[in-house]
């Protein structure tokens, strides 16, 4: 075998080894990114659960019954008696 052939064979062998190492390294990086993706998905799922709980809590806190109860207890509000109600008629805009 000539010197040029041996040199070419050495270069090809080194290229094959470098390619193999590169494939293994890229596979390793892919696994790392997949683990990170799984962690982000788990966080997203936890946030979705928390969001659902907050929506339920908001619905409970903003129900008409709860608001009326808070208005009566904390602000001392009450429904007006019939004699306290005044009805005003407002003329349409431009009519006199």
**In a domain? residue 11:** yes
Q: Per the structure, how many domains does the chain have? A: 1
Answer whether 73's CB lies under 8 Å from 67's CB. Answer: no
The set of residues, in sequence order, having a beta carbon less than 8 Å from that of 71 and lying 6+ positions away, is 77
**In a domain? residue 87:** no
pLDDT at 80 over 90: no
| pTM value > 0.95 | no
pLDDT at 96 over 70: no
**In a domain? residue 30:** yes
What sign has the CA pseudo-torsion 41, 47, 49, 52?
Answer: negative
Measured CA to CA in angstroms, residue 93 lies from 22, 27, 96 at distances of: 79, 74, 8
**In a domain? residue 88:** no
pLDDT at 7 over 70: yes
pLDDT at 10 over 90: yes
The set of residues, in sequence order, having a beta carbon less than 8 Å from that of 60 and lying 6+ positions away, is 66
The pLDDT score that the predictor gives to residue 12 is 96
């Amino acid at each position: 075998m000539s010197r040029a052939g041996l040199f070419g064979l050495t270069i090809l062998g080194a290229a094959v080894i470098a390619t193999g190492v590169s494939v293994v390294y890229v596979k390793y990086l892919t696994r790392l990114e997949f683990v990170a993706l799984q962690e982000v998905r788990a966080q997203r799922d936890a946030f979705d659960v928390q969001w659902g709980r907050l929506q339920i809590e908001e619905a409970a806190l903003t129900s008409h019954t709860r608001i009326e109860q808070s208005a009566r207890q904390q602000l001392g509000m009450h429904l007006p008696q019939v004699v306290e109600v005044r009805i005003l008629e407002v003329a349409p805009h431009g009519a006199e």
